[in-house]
Amino acid sequence: MQAVAEKNKTAAAASPNSPNRTYPMERTRNIGIAAHIDAGKTTTTERILFYTGLIHKMGDVDDGNTVTDWMEQERERGITITSAATTCYWTQKPDGTFKSYESVAHRINIIDTPGHVDFTAEVERSMRVLDGAVAVFCGVAGVQPQSETVWRQATKYKVPRIAFVNKMDRTGANFDNALNDMRKKLGAYAYPIFLPIGKEDNFRGVIDVVNQKAIIYDETDEVGLKYSVLEIPAELKDAAQAALAELIDAVSNKDDQIATMVIENRPITPQELKPAIRRLTCKIELVPVLCGSAFKKRGVQPLVDAVVDYLPSPLDVPPAVGLVPDSTQQVEVPSDDNAKFCSLAFKLWTDPYVGKLVFFRVYSGQLKKGDTIYNPRTRRRERVSRVLMIQADKRIDVETTYAGDIAALVGIRNITTGDTLCDEDFDIMLEPPTFPEPVISMAVEPKTKADREKMSEGLQRLAEEDPTFRCFTNEETGQLIIAGMGELHLEIIRDRLFREFKVGANAGAPQIAYRETVTKAAEGEGKFIRQSGGRGQYGHAMVTLAPNERGKGVEIENKIVGGAIPKEYIPAVIDGVEEAIKGGVLAGYPVVDVKVEVVDGTFHEVDSSELAFKMAGIFALKDAAKKANPILLEPIMKVEVTTPDEYQGDLLGDINRRRGKIVNIEAKETLTILAAEVPLAEMFGYATAIRSLSKGRASYSMEPFRFEPVPTNIVTTILDSAKSKPAARA
């Protein structure tokens, strides 16, 4: 392995680019567009694709005809559900204008990610394989809750980013407020490289701070292709120069070259400032901020320029690091076409035309059609039959992929999200993306018998695609439970089941697995006597039943002395007791935390049998339980809520209304952490409630903790429900 690593380093010292690739790595950008829901990610992506010449007519989210929102559910709801990959091309002209149709210079791979918190897994896995990101913010709302989440995800995976303050044409838009929000809420070292010219209805263009030029858009041009690069208007000159001075000061604080020039009082040209901004951005020490209106088609071309100017190529980011399987030895994976092949499978998708697609990011080496790849997790090899480049919902066959490429494979088996795919003699495992646990669940059942057969296959495929979706059968209630990140998430799952797999499903809240126990000691007697001519049945057993310590479980002991029940029949009595314990006496729920002793009984020389003593054991336990004051127990969940301070009171009140008990309140910077114990029965719908109460800024985790007695006023309702649904308790 060491030899392979050395070979990789040697290869990296030479040119990392294969002579066969069309675009060298230094002219490749892998970026994601990420933001809060409705900040304008998809619209921004659509404009970029138009100005780079990939599409010739711009779509709109409201019209349901955008390139990256291609799923039916996305177009119907006007939201992004799955991250879509697409590739475009861009060249810069030295006179400061923008053009993309001739002498193409850069290739930009773009992933448009969802903003809705229910689909956070799509953002998580995209961030894992990107080199840079464009964080889009609403010019009116500034930093919103999901903006904070995607920012944390980008920080977690060390993704450099630039910021785009969108919707500057909207009433209430304020660039300065959005900028201050970034600094305060995100802790970003953010400085503008573009300023707005006008705002709201008067938003006409942008000021290029670095070049000290004004870009004014022609209001008669509906597609935003006509603009003028002019001197900055006199009334804005002071603000533009102040912004440049502030930018130079910010850069000089972190970049030695610019700091030296400032100390020596030398003038700093755009040709010297731009590389410094790029260096700091790639090291995640600076966030350049731009502004515009994607909807009104203003300020988008400078954004594409900034992607090329400031976001890293695969060569500008540190090499990926993996581990040798079953060890702690780290191995670097340099971005080099000539090194051993290594890639990460970050997404699985079922395509109706080509079958299972495996999206992967190549970190080193090349992959050709017909090559054999190796999966270190499964220790299996597979031959590559097709390699595809993805353009949203279009698939383009290619012969070879190179380092830095994002592509897809067809027909790979036994693979999960996060698997490494590499050469067999470069045995390495890259760190997979991590995903949050599901927070909400519901029961589903097929509408018809035909649906039942197709449902399991459909759910299995959806679970393979989506690491935050789970499906399992609750053994105690017999229900099929689906779990995900929110109600919208599960609604989309049901919709996809129907549309893609033709499975109709009814859904409802899952049954709660209650328990029963007793509160005092009691004796019980059970007799099973049958006489019908010839050999009969005779079994007679007596038991004592007493409460056990909470959490201790069920203990059954044989206390028979003197052969009151023959030894060979004792196991049958205990089997009967165990069966009765599974079915309970109040509402058919399992009995927990009891101590049972088999103390006495009688037998018949001829008629006694194992069946008779098993039945006697069942009757004896039920008789004792009825006398032992049985009660119902409900599952209590340990809940931890993390919320900004201003929502603490509302969330405390809501937990109290849910019969919750607060056990600890901890202050942590601007956040408050509430620890509580809440009955599971009261936690349904909590994911939606907490978002509503905190405007989406609070989060929570929940895990089973213990069982506690159900309050008397609620027991009757549960018992009535249990009697009307005997099948649910099977």
- In terms of domains, do 146 and 162 share one? yes
pLDDT above 60 for 505: yes
Q: Determine the average pLDDT of the residues in 309-326.
A: 90
Cβ 521 vs Cβ 544: under 8 Å: yes
Q: Which of 157, 106, 159, 113 is nearest to 132 (CA)?
A: 159
Lowest model confidence (mean pLDDT) among 60-69, 576-585, 713-722: 60-69
Name the residue range of residue 338's domain. 2-10+330-430
| Residue 688 or 315, more confident | 315
CA 223, chain centre distance (Å): 36
Q: Determine the average pLDDT of the residues in 142-163.
A: 85
Q: Give the integer Cα–Cα distance in Å for 73 and 481.
A: 23
pLDDT value at position 101? Answer: 35
pLDDT above 50 for 62: no
* CATH number of the domain enclosing 273: 3.40.50.300
Is 16 within a domain?
no
Lowest model confidence (mean pLDDT) among 263-267, 424-428, 577-581, 669-673: 669-673
Round the CA-based radius of gyration of the chain to a whole number and report it.
Answer: 33
- In terms of domains, do 288 and 152 share one? yes
Dihedral sign, CA of 422, 427, 428, 434? positive
Q: Which of 335, 320, 326 is nearest to 430 (CA)?
A: 320
pLDDT value at position 146? Answer: 73
Read off the tokens for 102.
């001739």
Cβ 418 vs Cβ 346: under 8 Å: yes
pLDDT value at position 278? Answer: 94
- In terms of domains, do 278 and 196 share one? yes
- In terms of domains, do 178 and 47 share one? yes
pLDDT value at position 277? Answer: 95
Cβ 270 vs Cβ 258: under 8 Å: no
CA distances from 622 to 556, 619, 721 (A): 15, 5, 21
Q: Give the integer Cα–Cα distance in Å for 146 and 123.
A: 11
Look up residue 729 and give its DSSP letter: G
Is 245 within a domain?
yes
Is 639 within a domain?
yes
Cβ count near 190 (within 10 Å): 21
- In terms of domains, do 574 and 611 share one? yes
pLDDT above 60 for 456: yes
Q: Give the integer Cα–Cα distance in Å for 514 and 707.
A: 8
Amino acid at 532: S
Q: Give the integer Cα–Cα distance in Å for 66 and 74.
A: 10
pLDDT in tens, 472-502: 776 656 778 888 876 777 888 888 887 777 8
- In terms of domains, do 533 and 574 share one? yes
Helical pair 270-282 and 234-252, crossing angle rounded to 10 deg: 50
- Please give the sequence-ordered ranges of beta strands (E in DSSP) within 202-286, or none if there are none: 205-208, 213-217, 227-230
Is 410 within a domain?
yes
Q: Give the integer Cα–Cα distance in Å for 228 and 220.
A: 13
Lowest model confidence (mean pLDDT) among 85-99, 203-217, 223-237, 629-643: 85-99
The length of the chain, given as a count of residues:
730
Instruction: Give the distance between the most distant pair of CA atoms in the chain.
Output: 117
- In terms of domains, do 35 and 180 share one? yes
pLDDT above 70 for 636: yes
* Cβ burial, residue 62 (10 Å; 0-12/13-18/19+): exposed
pLDDT in tens, 573-632: 999 999 999 888 888 788 988 999 999 999 888 888 889 999 999 999 999 999 999 999
Q: Determine the average pLDDT of the residues in 149-169.
A: 90
- In terms of domains, do 142 and 34 share one? yes
pLDDT band at 729 (very low <50, low <70, confident <90, very high): very low
Final residue of a structural domain among 475, 508, 541: 508
pLDDT above 60 for 10: no
| Bridge-based pairing state of the strands 372-375 and 380-383 | antiparallel
* CATH number of the domain enclosing 685: 3.30.70.240
Q: Determine the average pLDDT of the residues in 518-522.
A: 92
Lowest model confidence (mean pLDDT) among 99-108, 270-279, 290-299, 712-721: 99-108
Is 321 within a domain?
no
pLDDT band at 100 (very low <50, low <70, confident <90, very high): very low
Final residue of a structural domain among 280, 310, 340: 310
pLDDT in tens, 552-588: 888 999 988 888 888 888 999 999 999 999 888 888 7
> What average pLDDT does the chain have?
83
Q: Give the integer Cα–Cα distance in Å for 198 and 207.
A: 10
Cβ 619 vs Cβ 518: under 8 Å: no
- In terms of domains, do 295 and 347 share one? no
Q: Give the integer Cα–Cα distance in Å for 110 and 48.
A: 10
H-helix or E-strand spanning residue 76: helix 72-77
pLDDT band at 79 (very low <50, low <70, confident <90, very high): low
How many domains are contained in the chain? 5
- In terms of domains, do 650 and 540 share one? no
pLDDT band at 176 (very low <50, low <70, confident <90, very high): very high
- In terms of domains, do 306 and 197 share one? yes
* CATH number of the domain enclosing 386: 2.40.30.10
pLDDT value at position 412? Answer: 82
**Could you give the strand order of the β-sheet that contains 470-473, starting from the edge strand earlier in sequence?**
470-473, 480-484, 440-446, 505-508
Question: Can you spell out the DSSP letters for 560-599?
Answer: --TTSS-GGGHHHHHHHHHHHHHH-SSSSPPB-SEEEEEE
Final residue of a structural domain among 384, 408, 430: 430
Q: Give the integer Cα–Cα distance in Å for 205 and 659.
A: 55
pLDDT band at 724 (very low <50, low <70, confident <90, very high): low
Q: Determine the average pLDDT of the residues in 112-120.
A: 67
- Please give the sequence-ordered ranges of beta strands (E in DSSP) within 205-335, or none if there are none: 205-208, 213-217, 227-230, 287-291, 320-323, 330-333
Is 316 within a domain?
no
Is 595 within a domain?
yes
Residues of 656-675 as b/e, b for ≥16 C-beta within 10 angstroms?
A: eebbbeeeeeeeeeeebebe
* CATH number of the domain enclosing 592: 3.30.230.10
Is 543 within a domain?
yes
Lowest model confidence (mean pLDDT) among 12-16, 513-517, 543-547: 12-16
Amino acid at 462: L
pLDDT above 60 for 64: no
Lowest model confidence (mean pLDDT) among 56-60, 423-427, 448-452, 675-679: 56-60
| HEC sequence for 365-393 | CCEECCCEEEECCCCEEEECCCEEEEECC
pLDDT band at 11 (very low <50, low <70, confident <90, very high): very low
Question: How wide is the angle at C-alpha 89 spanned by C-alphas 83 and 90, nearest 5°?
Answer: 120
- In terms of domains, do 490 and 530 share one? no
Which residues lie closer than 8 Å to 566 by C-beta, 6 or more apart? 603, 608
pTM: 0.69
pLDDT value at position 78? Answer: 53
* Cβ burial, residue 474 (10 Å; 0-12/13-18/19+): middle
pLDDT value at position 54? Answer: 74
pLDDT value at position 533? Answer: 65
Cβ count near 637 (within 10 Å): 20
pLDDT in tens, 371-405: 999 999 888 898 988 888 877 567 788 899 999 88
